């Protein structure tokens, strides 16, 4: 009797441990915000909308990540390229994620970058390298959300920088000429 109780208790503990290890505690994300898009010399300033849909996974004892789509209305490739999962790395009081949009075998292109963001992806500063924008490939594009104009974008970036002072700016991320 006592032995079977210990076996049952062991099975329950093992089952609970496995559940906590493998279950990712997903949170649905479905939001749309205004964004400001700027190129590396800040000569282009455009407003657009970003739509994020997917699941934010926060497994215990492992790295959190977002899996889904991120479509930016002014960047056509974000509608057709696949977004790889965004793994979150704690940077000060915010997070960073490496971003990769991968084209199909016919498109043969990748657009990569880095995003600095809050825990729920409501506020972010996204840098994309070699991104097609308005007919030409740009060395670097900066996308800031939520923002409706360049002044709002600067305020959002400054709020993020207060939480992570080492956050790079566009000039730092550009290759030296």
Q: Convert 99-117 into a string of H (helix), E (strand) and C (coil).
A: EEEECCCCCCCEEEEEEEE
> Is 98 within a domain?
yes
**Band of the pLDDT at 116, cuts 50, 70, 90?**
very high
User: Would 85 be classed as within a structural domain?
Assistant: yes
Q: Which structural domain, as residue segments, surrounds residue 28?
A: 24-173
pLDDT for 170 equals 78
Per-residue pLDDT, 169: 84
In a domain, 149, yes or no: yes
Would you say residue 92 lies in a domain? yes
Higher pLDDT, 94 or 169: 94
Residue 131 bridge partners (DSSP) = 138
| Residue 6: inside a domain | no
Q: Are 101 and 118 in contact (CB under 8 A)?
A: no
Specify the higher pLDDT residue, 127 or 26: 127
User: What pLDDT score was predicted for residue 38?
Assistant: 85
Segment 3-12, tens digit of pLDDT: 787 778 888 8
In this prediction, residues 21-35 reach a mean pLDDT of 83
Domain count of the fold of the chain: 1
Q: In this structure, what DSSP letter does residue 84 have? A: P
CA–CA distance, 23 with 10 (Å, rounded to integer): 20
Considering the chain, what is the average pLDDT of its residues? Answer: 85
pTM, to two decimals: 0.82
In-domain check, residue 83: yes
Looking at residue 97, its pLDDT comes to 96
DSSP 95: E
Q: Is residue 14 a part of any domain in this protein?
A: no
The whole-number pLDDT of residue 50 equals 94
Mean pLDDT of the 72-98 span: 92
pLDDT tens profile 39-69:
766 556 678 899 999 999 887 778 899 999 9
Q: For residue 137, name the pLDDT band (cuts at 50, 70, 90).
A: confident
Whether residue 19 lies inside any domain: the answer is no
List strand residue ranges (DSSP E) for 40-167, in order: 45-57, 65-72, 82-83, 86-87, 89-91, 94-102, 110-117, 124-133, 136-145
Helices (H), 62-106: 77-80
**pLDDT at 85 > cutoff 90:** yes
């Amino acid at each position: 009797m006592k032995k079977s109780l210990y076996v049952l208790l062991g099975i329950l503990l093992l089952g609970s441990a496995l559940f906590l290890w493998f279950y990712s505690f997903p949170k649905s994300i479905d939001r749309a915000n205004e964004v400001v898009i700027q190129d590396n010399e800040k000569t282009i300033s455009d407003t657009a909308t970003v739509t994020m849909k997917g699941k934010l996974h926060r497994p215990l004892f492992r790295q959190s990540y977002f899996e889904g789509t991120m479509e930016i209305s002014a960047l056509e490739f974000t509608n057709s390229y696949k977004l790889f999962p965004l793994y979150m790395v704690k940077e000060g009081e915010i997070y960073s994620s490496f971003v990769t949009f991968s084209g199909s075998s016919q498109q043969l292109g990748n657009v990569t970058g880095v995003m600095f963001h809050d825990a729920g992806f409501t506020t972010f500063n996204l840098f994309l390298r070699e991104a097609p924008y308005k007919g030409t490939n740009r060395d670097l594009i900066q996308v800031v959300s939520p923002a409706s104009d360049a002044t709002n974008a600067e305020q959002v970036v400054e709020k993020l920088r207060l939480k992570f002072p080492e956050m790079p700016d566009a000039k730092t991320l550009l290759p030296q000429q």
